Amino acid sequence: STLNSILTNLCFCAASPYVLCCGKKGKTMSGEPDLIKLYSKKILALAADLPNYAKLEHVSARAKKRSPLCGSSVSVELELSEGRVAGFTQDVKACALGQAAACITAKAIIGCSAAQVRVACAELQAMLTADGPIPAEPFHDLEVLHPAIQFKNRHASILLSLEATTEALELAQNAENTG
């Protein structure tokens, strides 16, 4: 079917030629209904809606995170004003799940403090690994990634955007404190 064809192509991480959830190209692994549930229309729409990367004029900090498992990576640039994110951009090379998480992060991040981002990152990790609660506002849309709990090999990619943003915020704060 068309959906199976789309899913087969999505099983390969955009950042890496390595197979993540398929045995051979064109052959999905068992649990296909779970895989179909994972790649919902909402996740695919978010992945397609990821804002284009554009360098910021006044960068407070940069950070890059990479998943060694799949090769996905996210590079973040942000600008702080009065301790809150005033400008944000990211270069995302990840599977649809990582792209969807990055899209949600980009839409929620402006105006957030470092503490809010750290909490969101911890909540997302808890949601994925310990069936914890959905991340709080303004990151509550990360709930769409709840079905990924079953796919531990995807967790690192999903967490990359928030982890890179947390690191960039820490670097920016350290630079402010030492500068």
pLDDT tens-place string over residues 100-148: 999 999 999 999 999 999 999 999 999 999 989 999 999 999 999 999 9
Question: What average pLDDT score do residues 76-89 get?
Answer: 95
Query: Got the DSSP string for 30-64?
Result: S-HHHHHHHS-HHHHHHHHTPPPP---SS-SEEEE
What does the pLDDT read at residue 6? 40
| 61 — pLDDT class (breaks 50, 70, 90) | very high
pTM score, whole prediction? 0.80
Backbone angles phi, psi at 107, to 5 degrees: -75, -25
Query: Got the DSSP string for 55-88?
Result: --SS-SEEEEEE-TTT--EEEEEEEEETTEEEEE
Q: What DSSP character marks residue 93?
A: E
